[in-house]
Amino acid sequence: MLNRYPTLVAEISANHNGSLSNAKKLIQLAKKSGFDYVKLQTYEPQTMTLNSKKKEFTIKKGLWKNKTLWDLYTKAQTPFGWQKKLFDYCKKLKIKCFSTPFDETAVELLEKLNCPMYKIASFEITHIPLIEKVSKTKKPVIISTGMATIKDIDLAYDTAYKNGAKEIALLYCISNYPAKNSDFNLRSIEFLKKRYKCKVGFSDHSIDNSVAKTALASGAEIFEKHIALKNVKAADYKFSLKGNELKDYTEELKKTSKLLGKFQFKHSSSQDNYKNYRRSIYALKAIKKGEKFSIRNISIVRPGYGLSPKYFKKIINKKSPYKIEKYSKVSKNIIKKMKVSVE
């Protein structure tokens, strides 16, 4: 499922602002902008929290300050009744769709919709019963790691593996909304790849595309980014891409991916024309057959059509097997004629 590099995921989250029509417009925008997947969130407020106004149920700081959890999730939910419609709409537009379930009932619904893979949100990484339920579907699982300790990630990863997850990936995530550049510590991506021997991506809550490009250079293979409509200021609007920003984001990541290429020292065919700007061995004057090579009759110069400079010392004081005209190259096949070592 995650074999495209980089894999680009458009997160709708709460940015539909309670409108099914807006949700469909976001899917259109993701498709038009070059994302590979649309991701939904699947929950109901009663499966997330309690309808209480006690202090511990009220958000104290950040983007959603002073809202109760119940009010936030009531407004931000993508209703269960929309889920099939949105999966069908993605199919119609030929863009893949999956979701983040937040409890077991959400998994059951998504299984009926043939959800191809699942994401575990950062806030749910310690929700072991949920990870077990998702992993038993035998489908790929992406686990987001915001706020998690190594022990949290170990337990979540091991739970997914032991319960049959077909493929496990991790998303490096900073759970600030938006996150500051100083928060990221993107070298952690390389650490996660080495420790868990799996694909690692980046859940991008930044407001600067350079962060995603640096994450790509650090080894991230999957990118999840919130998207929003320009004229709909919903819950996650502040750290979401809007309008042309989406296409800029996907194009910049794809361009950066091409620039990074793959690890190799094999030159590309486009460089072949420049090889002859290297140096090679040429005759400074006419050399007779049987005449010894010396620093007075051969030199290392450009262009590179002649014998490689690495043989210069090996042929000095040896007899030329044939006549060479002034300013002509010393031919590469001379090595065989002279029985010179080629190491």
Residue that wins the pLDDT comparison between 233 and 314: 314
Question: Which residue's structure tokens are 């009531």?
Answer: 74
Q: Which CATH class is domain 7-260?
A: alpha beta
pLDDT score of 50 more than 80: yes
C-beta of residue 293 within 8 angstroms of C-beta of residue 317: yes
Higher pLDDT, 335 or 309: 309
What is the sign, positive or negative, of the torsion defined by CA atoms of 292, 296, 301, 305? negative
What is the structure's pLDDT at 3?
64
Query: Over the range 104-137, which residues count as b (16 or more CB within 10 Å of their CB) and which as e?
Result: ebbbebbeebebebbbbbbebbebeebbbbbbeb
CATH number for region 269-338: 3.90.1210.10
180-217 in b/e form (b: 16+ CB < 10 A) is eeeebebeebeebbeebebbbbbbbbbeebebbbbbbe
Q: What are the structure tokens assigned to 328, written together?
A: 């002509």
pLDDT given for residue 207 in this prediction: 86
pLDDT band at residue 198, thresholds of 50, 70 and 90?
A: very high
What was the pLDDT predicted at 179?
85
Strand partners, 161: none
pLDDT of residue 6: 93
State the sign of the Cα–Cα–Cα–Cα dihedral 175, 95, 135, 72. positive
pLDDT digits (tens, 9 = 90+) for 96-113: 999 999 999 999 999 999
Give the model's pLDDT for residue 227: 96
Kind and range of the H or E element at 120? strand 118-120
191 contact partners, CB below 8 Å, separation of at least 6: none
pLDDT for 238? 86
- Per-domain residue ranges for the chain? 7-260, 269-338
Distance CA 123, CA 237 (A): 20
* pLDDT surpasses 70 at 13: yes
